[in-house]
Structure 1
Amino acid sequence: MTVYVTDFTIFFFGNKPKLFALMLIQLLFVHSSFAQVREFKLDISKVQPIAPNELTELSGSDPSGNKLSANSYYISKNLVPFIPVTAEFHFSRYPEQYWDESIKKIKAGGVNTIATYIFWNIHEEKEAVFDWTGNRNLRKFIKLCAENSMMVMIRIGPFDHGEIRNGGLPDWLLSKPLTVRDNDPEYLHYVELLYNQIAGQLRGLYFKDGGPIIGTQIENEYQHSASPWGLTYPGQPYDFTVADRDRSSAKEGVSVASADNPYANLGDNHMKVLKALAQKAGITTPFYTATGWGYAAIIENETLPVTAAYAYPTWTTKNELSPFYLFTELHKKPDYSPVRYDPLRYPAFSAELGSGIMSTYSRRPIVPAESVDALINRTLGSGANGIGYYMFHGGSTPIANQYFFNDEAYGYPKISYDFQAPIGEYGQINPSFNRLKLLHFFINDFGDVLAKQITVLPKNAAGINPESTDLRYAARTDGKSGFLFINNFQDHFKTPDQTNLRITIEADKETISIPQSGSFSLKSGENIIMPFNLDINGNRLVYSTAQLLTKSDKSDRPFYIFFYPEGTNAELSFANKDTRIRNLKNASVLQYSERQIIKCSPGSVAEFTISSSGKKETNVLVIPKKLALKAQQVLISGIKHLVFSDALLLNDNEGFQLLSTGNATGKLEVYPKITRTPTTDVGTIKKISGNTSFTGFAFGLPAVKLSPDFKTVGQRKLFVNLPTKLPAGLNDVFLTINYTGDTGMSFLNGELVADDFYKGVPWQIGLKRFISPGHPQMAFYFRPIFKDAPYLMDLPDAVNKQVSNEKPLLKINSVSFIPEYKTNLKF
């Protein structure tokens, strides 16, 4: 349907009176509610194209002539800007036999780079005895990253932190006549031996060799943070892993530090010495990075300083509202400022964004899924040109010969390193994974445009605080086009729904109101990115109240996909000069003299085609966010497609692994539509009817019934009989224990293999690594919550009400098995 609109007259052409009546009501409502619209403005008229300064010490080429380089705003490949999306995943905290599957899961989340710590004490637990085998096989892990086309950032220490014993420094260093994290020659001798060992494992795997390693982090939080030595006694003050001169300035965790360290020059020099030792050993990469937050040391012009943001820290004594959901200019003032460097000389790289948090015995906050993509919205909108997560994939810390590697002094779990990460300790896909991939798809497809745009804030931005209910918004722009970022989430505080919004962008030669008439809304907890003046294959998209998801410009029928959160009506405005709009589904067009506005039916999948003179048509798909959360990018016959499914698809050679947690049946919806039906090596798959924009398929796998056989002994012990082998057709079995208590510990054959700090959510254990004829039973020991537990502030109110003044609280509510089905698909 097309409606032509003038200032006071509406002309209707078509034969759908009911639809017209609804449209007329909508238009009348728009005009009658005009006075209720809340107006906001952004002035981008003074923005000039950026003029970046090259960082000549940070570059490199591979044997094919591909070049990586950096300037003061962004990094480039062959002079084309790109934004790295980096997932922290510790290979030594995950079973070697499942690394490839996990790398594929990370890649399915839209990540293009993996960062990993190389923990010194895990590889040299005993002096002069290095172990690079099994789960410590660094070389195998990097080669698997290469096979999956993932770039790699290595974090070589010598100090790492990583919630591991001594921050990664071996215990035996305490027995040596030296000062750690210092230019002490004896200490540097052992560091050089470590770096030589690492270099030996990585020979031939650097970018310069055609390998995946593009960057090296030197040290970690140097002259900012430290870990306590693991050899300690209850009640003893922490003895931090720092040089003697830095003891008074060492912080616990990531925080703000003063800019008056009298030993700053010595710290910078130590970083230079470490980099020289790394290069001498052969660790040569285009980029070297240093954690620059909180006045930490970097190497001027030779390292890229990276920053962090943790909205749910456990190193504070109480819950405090963070500033990390307020837009700012990170290129001018990084988070956790002051910093030791001039931020204008470097791109803004946020390398440790808290996509979860590690629980300690005394602090156990839950990081809600919606907090994570809101953090990325704010960080991108504030000017970041690098996104990194700590952690993106959880794990389980190995046990040493004489102690636990997890940092016991700080009260961490002895084994679990789940971190509430988007991918959990046992490879579970958590809700934050699905929310983040929507942003990653956008970054991968539009990062070359976004990287060259600067942040513009509204005039009242400086006056907005974390408890403010004011609208939080910013733009990234080149002065003509750009992206409008809006965030309506705040940690530890419920923001109100933002309703009746219109944001006007004042450019040099035009004014863009989003929307042109009427208003839009954004629910509490949600965020959105709206493009303006975006070129879509020769068609100018003036604005969209839906967010870009992905695109394909290379197929026979190019497509752009948008999504919108619940409560936000989607409309797209195109310049009227050349654009022709056809084949509308679940959408209508308003024709203005200079605009064509496409209004999508709320809650529906809308589709249409656009074209301009002399150019082929481009498909546009607009979907609800709840459907977008199921989106997965795949290549079918070499062409990008999206598959919408609750199941997870992993690219695997010429086909895909399909993983379905808890369900033996499900469906796949493919866009753009395809003619062939995929084959499966297990079960059945058949074409089904459904949404006409997609090709739909239903799959059915042989159902596996698993009823746990368990018993309790007393109040605190639970014994669960395990299958002797993983049932056919399954990728894993998740043992889920819904309990209320303090801590849980799990044993196989008398050995501790897993543990949990209760946070108000069920404890889940992936069993495939444990199932074997020799492990017939898993034993559990639980401890109750006492009324004066230090972590009660982090637990749900309902749990706090149950904690009695008379007796401790411990309940085992249920025990269940959840199967994860697996099959292989070929299209």
Structure 2
Amino acid sequence: MKYRYIALASLLCSTAVRAQYQMDLQHVGTVPLNYLNKESIGPKGKEIRVNNIYMEEGGKPVLPVMGEFHYVRMDHRYWRDALLKMKASGINMVSTYVMWSLHEETEGQQNWSGNHDLRRFIQLCDELGLKVHLRAGPYCNAEMQHGALPEWIINNKALVTRSNDPLYLNYSKKWYDAVFQQIKGLLYKDGGPIMALQLENEFVKKGLVVSHLMNLKKLAREAGFDVPLYTMTHWMDSEYPKGEVVPYGGFYIETPWVTNHGKMTPPTNFEYFTYNRLSDNIGTDIIKIEGDVESFDGSKNDSPFFTCEVGVGAPTFYQRRAVVSEGMAGENINLRLGTGVNLMGYYMYVGGTNPRGEKNTYGNGPYFGYDYQAPIREFGTLGAVMKETKKLNYFMNDFGSRLAPMLAYLPLSNKNKDNLQWAVRSDGESGYLFVSNYLYRYDRPQYDQVQFKLKLRQEELTFPRKPVSIVNKSYFLWPFNLDLKGVNLKYATAQPITSHQDGKVSSYFFFEDDAIPAEYLIDASNIKTIQAKGAKVSKEKNRYFISELVAGKESVITITRNNGEQVKLVTLTEKQSDDLWKGKTGQNDVVALTKSSLLVDADKVFITAEDATQKISLYKSQGLKAFEDKVYQGQKVQQLEAAALELGPMHDATRIQVKTGKVLTKIVDSSSLAEVSEATLRFSSDKTMKIYWNGKELSPKTVGEYTIADVKAAIRSGKNEIRFESADDGASLIAEVELLYKNGVRKVWNTDNTWLSEDQKPVENSENQHKPARYAAAERLGLFEFTLPDLTRGKDEVRLELSYFGDKATAYIGEEPFTDSYNDGTPWILGLSRKKEELANDKLIVRITGFGADTQEIFLEDNFDRIKSQFPAIKNAKVVKDYTYSVNE
């Protein structure tokens, strides 16, 4: 049936191509601009104002690229590294939650130091030239318990959270005051980076949205927050304080919160070009239809189309463990740009690890790991989605100021989702064509004989020159009438990425993709010569048509203008575009191709990869070759290995006995601010025994070679007595009590020579020290101790890539949780060198639990082995090391 559907769809496209792919933009007019903040805020020449369509900086349109990075979820020693990677990949604004529960776990005891040092984080952003969008709450969500409202607020019966309750507002005011004291002097108006403040997240209480948001804004301003932009995340309800607070949208293609009983979820509405910003709609009153085209009526638009949660990665929830591909990221960004987004905000851009509290874990699961399959992952590695994300980031950096004032126009044919999806953003003369034939996890038909015809104010453009096929999984954007330093690019069937300026030479980088040959039509005005080695250049009246080029590093079109200035067009392959990086050293542009990650720090270029030999191709606008290849080779470090020893139950316990007597006892102290979440007694004895916990007899059960009892209900905070009684003298015993606390700490009490006999004398070690080799199948538990290489040598990062069979796993260093994972079949990456001080004193222990027999309700990828993952085991453990080289210009 699938193939019949594809053939039919292709036939329909072929017979209706002219009607389906044309758009009349002759009457596109100037949109009236209504400014939300009447006064410009910020340093002279960099003042920020926001209108109903876009943001201005220094009076010029900008299209910011914002990435979410939660400072408190990362070791502060690595903040700079992550921020540099963000900047290198095209991010120019950092969004971060200020999580109340993590800063004030206990009322009146606030922590603003170390990983909680908000001020230092903001200062780092400032040092690196990154603006900051502060998401101060009080409520955040962020996959945190209670949305990061402190538990002592949640448990306060005298107030109603997230409401206009006076007591809740009083507490919120105290919170805003506390946050402001940390960032005082760092607001944008003071020359600092903080230019926006989020007040609430996904607030949908009917009848309260406007009043509550205005109350929070009032409190924030009274605390001292005076910023160009106040925001809220908003996709559940069309109500918001118009003209006062800008609603930010969120668009997730992968939706892990939708379990769908373990099956694939259908495509979301957001996988098509549509004006539907919210789950309901924005309201038909601001949509204008003329002919076969719909657009926003900009004059009635109250707020610009800004986003803060465009999902390019996705979290792993227990019931849904999707592994996202890089294509999902590219599709989502392309769709958002095509429908008019003018601030691209990603969630998450940098993964992290939830800190443990004194009382609780704060993540909703996994409790610590917050990797999010983000462009920059939990321990600093680059995610699969980075390749597609950064090339579109660079596009927004270099071309966003021209794109931002352009409204989005959608053909009505898009409403039939079986049709090819496309959109145009234009001012009536120039713009961009966006096309998407991509669905996440589903196939689309191929569309043949496709051309696009645009009626503009002064002309009609039809491109490509010959009809092409749009294949399944395609998405792209093409420019038309793009001004390239005085050269008018009439159109290109290659996607623009970025630019490079070197004196009188301006270079622009494109890539050819999706089986569509690259061609360029260029206005011949003011052009002296065009050279295109290996391509066909045809002069047609007052235009040049360039075709039959072979994409690659040396595919350079050199245009010399009458005034001697040059414009170069470089056409890369799609694969090469994945390896493109852009940066600046001082005032000099750097464009490079490398499979390594690249960053610029203190005007020095560095490349990093897990390979001792690395290659970089640096673009040179002058000379015979466009790219200069350099190879860096270092001494590969040998013997970076990790050995995993499988531990059985009671592995650290000693078998003890009494020569005479029938009783073995121990007083243990379970005192902790955290409650116990799990407590298991495991033991083996050569005689039948009764077990008493605080005087109450337990009812254990035998599993394999040993006996277990759930003792959670019997444990009390403080002193606990464990008592074993045998009917006969001289019993031997080996036992452990494993405690898992609600803050993630794992403690184990073992039998040893501190246990006492009935006469309160120390017991003796038994001659027989037999221990069970493995955990019983009924427990579905595996415990593994790792022997690691010396982590104190060298500065580069060392990681453990761990693949395992099982359901979920937690890594511990001693008693302390390191991070955790819900198994999705991909390697679990642990940043060992980030914990080298702790690992110098304690072992790395990984505790894995297996699946039950029925996993039907859990979404797992097709290659996941559900049967083997009932029985915990280590599949593979590999230690990898970074190698970093300074690239000399």
Q: Do they superpose with TM above 0.5?
A: yes
Shift of 1:790: 5.2
The 5 Å alignment of 1:210-359 reads 210-223=191-204, 246=205, 261=206, 264=207, 266-295=208-237, 298-318=240-260, 319-329=265-275, 333-338=276-281, 344-359=301-316
Q: Please, which of 126, 143, 165 is the counterpart of residue 184 of structure 1?
A: 165
- Residue in structure 2 matched with residue 704 of structure 1 by the alignment: 637
Q: Does 1:378 align with 2:378?
A: no
- Residue in structure 2 matched with residue 672 of structure 1 by the alignment: 620
The 5 Å alignment of 1:28-67 reads 39=18, 40-57=20-37, 59-64=39-44, 66-67=46-47
Shift of 1:733: 1.4
What CA distance in whole angstroms lies between the structure 2 residues aligned with 1:58 and 1:334? Answer: 26
What CA distance in whole angstroms lies between the structure 1 residues aligned with 2:528 and 2:514? Answer: 29
The code of the aligned residue for 2:799 comes to: F
Q: Please, which of 471, 479, 482 is the counterpart of residue 428 of structure 2?
A: 479
- Residue in structure 1 matched with residue 536 of structure 2 by the alignment: 588
What CA distance in whole angstroms lies between the structure 2 residues aligned with 1:527 and 1:546? Answer: 12
What CA distance in whole angstroms lies between the structure 1 residues aligned with 2:238 and 2:145? Answer: 21
Shift of 1:764: 1.1
What CA distance in whole angstroms lies between the structure 2 residues aligned with 1:674 and 1:648? Answer: 25
> For residues 636 and 130 of structure 1, do their structure 2 counterparts lie closer, same or farther at Cα, with a shift above 3 Å needed?
closer
Shift of 1:420: 1.1
- 1:541-577 deviation per Cα after TM superposition (whole angstroms, max 9, x unaligned): 1110001111235633111111122522111111245
User: Percent identity over the alignment?
Assistant: 28
More moved, 470-479 vs 85-94: 470-479
- Residue in structure 2 matched with residue 646 of structure 1 by the alignment: 595
Q: Does 1:617 align with 2:586?
A: no
Q: Does 1:167 align with 2:147?
A: yes
- 1:15-37 deviation per Cα after TM superposition (whole angstroms, max 9, x unaligned): xxxxxxxxxxxxxxxxxxx9999
- 1:240-286 deviation per Cα after TM superposition (whole angstroms, max 9, x unaligned): xxxxxx5xxxxxxxxxxxxxx3xx2x331111111111111111111
1:75–1:81 Cα contact (<8 Å) kept? yes
What CA distance in whole angstroms lies between the structure 1 residues aligned with 2:185 and 2:27? Answer: 45
Shift of 1:445: 0.9
Q: Please, which of 548, 560, 569 is the counterpart of residue 496 of structure 2?
A: 548
Shift of 1:519: 3.0
SS of 2:854's equivalent in the other structure is coil
- Residue in structure 1 matched with residue 791 of structure 2 by the alignment: 725
Q: Does 1:787 align with 2:853?
A: yes
What CA distance in whole angstroms lies between the structure 2 residues aligned with 1:775 and 1:47? Answer: 72
- Residue in structure 2 matched with residue 441 of structure 1 by the alignment: 394
1:655–1:824 Cα contact (<8 Å) kept? yes
2:791–2:798 Cα contact (<8 Å) kept? no
TM-score by length of 2: 0.78
What CA distance in whole angstroms lies between the structure 2 residues aligned with 1:657 and 1:694? Answer: 17
- 1:195-215 deviation per Cα after TM superposition (whole angstroms, max 9, x unaligned): 111000000000010000000
Count of paired positions: 722
1:641–1:672 Cα contact (<8 Å) kept? no
> For residues 118 and 450 of structure 1, do their structure 2 counterparts lie closer, same or farther at Cα, with a shift above 3 Å needed?
same
- Residue in structure 1 matched with residue 690 of structure 2 by the alignment: none
The code of the aligned residue for 1:702 comes to: Q
- 1:556-607 deviation per Cα after TM superposition (whole angstroms, max 9, x unaligned): 3111111122522111111245434433223221333343211253443310
More moved, 138-147 vs 755-764: 755-764
Q: Please, which of 508, 511, 525 is the counterpart of residue 473 of structure 2?
A: 525
> For residues 56 and 296 of structure 1, do their structure 2 counterparts lie closer, same or farther at Cα, with a shift above 3 Å needed?
closer
What CA distance in whole angstroms lies between the structure 2 residues aligned with 1:283 and 1:787? Answer: 54
What CA distance in whole angstroms lies between the structure 1 residues aligned with 2:434 and 2:119? Answer: 41
2:598–2:607 Cα contact (<8 Å) kept? yes
Q: Please, which of 350, 353, 356 is the counterpart of residue 393 of structure 1?
A: 350
Shift of 1:168: 0.8
1:530–1:547 Cα contact (<8 Å) kept? yes
> For residues 569 and 59 of structure 1, do their structure 2 counterparts lie closer, same or farther at Cα, with a shift above 3 Å needed?
farther
The code of the aligned residue for 1:650 comes to: L
The code of the aligned residue for 1:120 comes to: W
What CA distance in whole angstroms lies between the structure 2 residues aligned with 1:311 and 1:635? Answer: 33
The 5 Å alignment of 1:384-783 reads 384-407=341-364, 412-464=365-417, 468=418, 470-516=419-465, 518-553=466-501, 555-605=503-553, 606-636=555-585, 638-660=587-609, 662-672=610-620, 692-705=625-638, 706-713=640-647, 714=774, 716-728=782-794, 730-772=795-837, 774-775=840-841, 777-783=843-849
SS of 2:886's equivalent in the other structure is strand
SS of 2:389's equivalent in the other structure is helix
- Residue in structure 2 matched with residue 137 of structure 1 by the alignment: 117
Structure 1: unaligned runs, 5 residues or longer = 1-33, 224-245, 247-260, 676-690
What CA distance in whole angstroms lies between the structure 2 residues aligned with 1:283 and 1:824? Answer: 41
> For residues 811 and 499 of structure 1, do their structure 2 counterparts lie closer, same or farther at Cα, with a shift above 3 Å needed?
farther
Shift of 1:419: 0.9
More moved, 59-68 vs 206-215: 59-68
- Residue in structure 2 matched with residue 363 of structure 1 by the alignment: 320
SS of 1:272's equivalent in the other structure is helix
More moved, 168-177 vs 581-590: 581-590
SS of 2:78's equivalent in the other structure is helix
SS of 2:21's equivalent in the other structure is strand
> For residues 695 and 115 of structure 1, do their structure 2 counterparts lie closer, same or farther at Cα, with a shift above 3 Å needed?
same
Rg comparison, structure with higher value: 2
The code of the aligned residue for 1:723 comes to: P
Shift of 1:613: 2.9
> For residues 621 and 581 of structure 1, do their structure 2 counterparts lie closer, same or farther at Cα, with a shift above 3 Å needed?
farther
- 1:471-525 deviation per Cα after TM superposition (whole angstroms, max 9, x unaligned): 2111111111110101121123122444443222222332211112x23344432
What's the Cα RMSD here? 2.3
SS of 2:505's equivalent in the other structure is coil
What CA distance in whole angstroms lies between the structure 2 residues aligned with 1:667 and 1:312? Answer: 34
2:24–2:456 Cα contact (<8 Å) kept? yes
- 1:90-116 deviation per Cα after TM superposition (whole angstroms, max 9, x unaligned): 000000000011000011110110000
Shift of 1:162: 0.5
- 1:445-484 deviation per Cα after TM superposition (whole angstroms, max 9, x unaligned): 11111111111222311122xxx3x321111111111101
- Residue in structure 2 matched with residue 680 of structure 1 by the alignment: none
Shift of 1:164: 0.6
2:500–2:591 Cα contact (<8 Å) kept? no
Structure 2: unaligned runs, 5 residues or longer = 1-12, 287-299, 648-773, 776-781
SS of 1:125's equivalent in the other structure is coil
More moved, 708-717 vs 535-544: 708-717
SS of 2:66's equivalent in the other structure is strand
What CA distance in whole angstroms lies between the structure 2 residues aligned with 1:645 and 1:65? Answer: 36
- Residue in structure 2 matched with residue 237 of structure 1 by the alignment: none
- Residue in structure 2 matched with residue 688 of structure 1 by the alignment: none
The 5 Å alignment of 1:71-90 reads 71-90=51-70
SS of 2:581's equivalent in the other structure is strand
1:116–1:153 Cα contact (<8 Å) kept? yes
- Residue in structure 2 matched with residue 26 of structure 1 by the alignment: none
What CA distance in whole angstroms lies between the structure 1 residues aligned with 2:244 and 2:549? Answer: 53
What CA distance in whole angstroms lies between the structure 1 residues aligned with 2:621 and 2:645? Answer: 51
- Residue in structure 2 matched with residue 19 of structure 1 by the alignment: none
1:268–1:298 Cα contact (<8 Å) kept? yes
Shift of 1:823: 3.2
- Residue in structure 2 matched with residue 125 of structure 1 by the alignment: 105
1:352–1:390 Cα contact (<8 Å) kept? yes
- Residue in structure 1 matched with residue 878 of structure 2 by the alignment: 816
SS of 1:154's equivalent in the other structure is strand
SS of 2:864's equivalent in the other structure is helix
